[in-house]
Amino acid sequence: MSLSFNYIDYIILGLYASALIFIGFRSGKKEKNQEDIFLGGRTLKWWQIGFSMFSANAGPIMLIGFAGVGFSHGIVGSNFELLAWIFLMLLGMVFLPYYLKAKISTIPQFLLIRFGKRSYNFLVIYSLISILVVWLGSALYAGGLLISGIFGCSLFTALIIIALIATSFTAIGGLKAVVRTGVFQSIIIIVSSILLTFLGFQKIGGLDSLVSQTPASYWKLFLPASNPEYSWLAIVLGYPVVAIYYWCADQTIVQKVLAAENLKEGQYGALFLGVLKIIMPLIFIVPGIMCYVLFKDIAQPDNAYITMIKELMPHGLLGLSIAALIASLIDTVSSSLNSFCTVFTLDVVPQVKELNQKQQVKMGRWITIIAAIMGVGIAMAFSYSGKNFFELSQGLVSILAPPLSVVFLAGIMWKRVNSISVEIVLYGGGLVCLILGACHVLNYPYKGYWPHFLLLSFYIFVALSILIVVVTLVTKPAVNPVIPSLLESKNKPVEEEHNSRPIWLAWLGLASVMILIYLLFN
């Protein structure tokens, strides 16, 4: 789909690109050491953390994919946003205190301290593969399709342009550049999406008119268990397995809270993102439902968001909307690049050669460039897969989520868990997940043989949970783990004390709002 721009749109796009590059390069002037490059100097405030996590999460996959879900199924896709607050609370109130106490820079370092070198090496490898394929390759592929469709260039040309822009300021500015541009881009994404939703309501004639022209099932958050794609059972059982890993143990997401100035700022950053989740269905999924009402004869789920922009946005706002899409794309790619170079430089290189801070910074920048080149290659490979992009990305996320979710929960909750049980779950469970995941994605032995991928993820999680308990009980307990369990540390501050009562009350308020939403839409 090719869009028609006028000079106002090009001016806005140009201003956006200039502002983005200026912010990124300005950040680079102050980033002098490895902690600045990889963790923003551990000086990030709650609003920077929240906006940056939002921008990394609200990538082109969400903007286009959620509108497609809204077009074809209604608000059921909102579950993936509205349920996230539970796991953001776990991140802020349970996982983050332990990460900060250990003074880690990467998630694999947590496993190193808690369970030893073999577990650490497993997660290093997985983190690099996950960042390259699930985050970087997927984001580049989705963005390449988007840019090539908007501007009429080839997929490869679009990929090169995206990689060059994201790599330039990520390599020079580090995490603080990513965070500052993330805040800038989050505001653009939110404002343009609100404008699109407003124009859609204006065109349709209001909420009542929208509801009357759509099936009743479009306004149900939970669909019957017989629904093959979005069963309430699959969501309730399977989503938490993936969410525990995604929100609490994925390097690209957790790196933002690890860079917090202190525990309090990190916790409020996670809470802030939880609050933002309330508006995300309205501005990301409802436009897809509007497209179903207004343009179902000319649109398809995959291009619902672009169709709404093309048909409703006047010139000027059209340029802003495209800038928002490019913003989400660039931020996801730049966050992925920074996370990859952080893990590689701080977790892989030291096992081969010790580097001083200056050498680490230089190495990180070269690794960023190499990762970008690899990401372009993976994105091109996706284009020959013949698979639906959303299915590919979701399948990749679900492959190793169960063993990692089991290990991270056990590592924090249970002191007795030892390295033997963890290694069996990670290596053995990881191999099983790879095999089952490949069979599920390839429809082997035949289509319909495997349950929904969320249910499959839940079944694997239960099996591995039983396995880690059994192996732990029949082997020697861990000897004086460096990081105490949750119960042991209940009354021990992880750093300078602060009154946590206000943030717990805020989480309670957010929970009340979420419960009300579910009561209204079921």
- Which of 487, 472, 502 is closest to 98 using CA atoms? 487
Amino acid at 192: S
Kindly indicate the confidence band of residue 421, based on its pLDDT and cuts at 50, 70 and 90. very high
The mean pLDDT of the chain is 81
- Burial of residue 489 (number of CB atoms within 10 Å: 0-12, 13-18, 19+): middle
Residues in the chain: 522
The CA distance from 386 to 400, in Å, is 23
* pLDDT in the model for residue 486: 62
Better pLDDT: 123 or 491:
123
- Which of 14, 20, 58 is closest to 328 using CA atoms? 58
Note the pLDDT tens digit of each residue in 87-107: 999 999 888 887 777 677 667
- Report the range of poorest mean pLDDT among 66-70, 195-199, 346-350, 367-371: 346-350
- Report the range of poorest mean pLDDT among 83-87, 126-130, 373-377: 126-130
Cβ 142 vs Cβ 394: under 8 Å: no
Neighbours of 268 (CB within 10 A): 20
User: String of b and e for 144-176 (b: at least 16 CB within 10 Å)?
Assistant: bbbbbbbeeeebeebbbbbbebbbbbbbbbbbb
DSSP single-letter state for residue 94: I
Kindly indicate the confidence band of residue 222, based on its pLDDT and cuts at 50, 70 and 90. very high
Better pLDDT: 163 or 470:
470
Is residue 147 scored above 60 in pLDDT? yes
How far does the chain reach from its first CA to its final CA, in angstroms? 36
Mean pLDDT, range 489-511, rounded to an integer: 76
Here the tokens at position 307 are: 């169709």
* pLDDT in the model for residue 337: 81
Tokens 């170079």 belong to 341
- Report the range of poorest mean pLDDT among 26-30, 35-39, 393-397, 496-500: 35-39
Q: Where are the domains of the chain?
A: 41-520
User: String of b and e for 449-473 (b: at least 16 CB within 10 Å)?
Assistant: ebebbbbbbbebbeebbebbbebbe
The CA distance from 443 to 387, in Å, is 11
DSSP single-letter state for residue 406: H
* pLDDT in the model for residue 298: 84
Entry pTM? 0.80
Is residue 321 scored above 80 in pLDDT? no
Rg, the chain, Cα only: 22
The CA distance from 84 to 91, in Å, is 11
* pLDDT in the model for residue 180: 58
* pLDDT in the model for residue 40: 47
Mean pLDDT, range 69-86, rounded to an integer: 92
* pLDDT in the model for residue 181: 58
Tokens 């985050």 belong to 135
Cβ 422 vs Cβ 411: under 8 Å: yes
* pLDDT in the model for residue 484: 63
Residue 118 vs residues 121, 244, 290: alpha-carbon distances, Å: 5, 22, 51
The CA distance from 247 to 268, in Å, is 15
Neighbours of 513 (CB within 10 A): 13
- Which of 56, 27, 13, 368 is closest to 180 using CA atoms? 27
The CA distance from 427 to 356, in Å, is 33
Mean pLDDT, range 398-402, rounded to an integer: 82
* pLDDT in the model for residue 467: 96
* pLDDT in the model for residue 403: 92
Tokens 């308990």 belong to 469
In order, the DSSP letters of 291-308 are HHHHHTTT--GGGHHHHH
Q: Is 260 helix (H, G, I), strand (E, B) or coil?
A: strand
The superfamily CATH assigns to domain 41-520 is Sodium/glucose cotransporter (1.20.1730.10)
Question: Cα–chain-centroid distance for residue 100?
Answer: 21
- Report the range of poorest mean pLDDT among 114-123, 297-306, 395-404, 487-496: 487-496
Residue 416 vs residues 90, 340, 369, 491, 494: alpha-carbon distances, Å: 21, 32, 42, 19, 21
Better pLDDT: 386 or 74:
74
* pLDDT in the model for residue 414: 84
Q: Which residues contact residue 372 at a Cβ distance below 8 angstroms, ignoring those fewer than 6 apart?
A: 136, 163, 166, 167, 333, 337
| Percent over 70 (pLDDT), the chain | 82
Note the pLDDT tens digit of each residue in 494-503: 555 567 888 9
Cβ 275 vs Cβ 116: under 8 Å: no
* pLDDT in the model for residue 487: 62
The CA distance from 269 to 186, in Å, is 14
* pLDDT in the model for residue 504: 93
Note the pLDDT tens digit of each residue in 471-483: 999 998 766 666 6
Is residue 35 scored above 50 in pLDDT? no
Cβ 357 vs Cβ 387: under 8 Å: no
Is residue 464 scored above 90 in pLDDT? yes
Kindly indicate the confidence band of residue 37, based on its pLDDT and cuts at 50, 70 and 90. very low
The CA distance from 494 to 488, in Å, is 12
The pair phi, psi for residue 44, each rounded to 5°, is: -75, 140
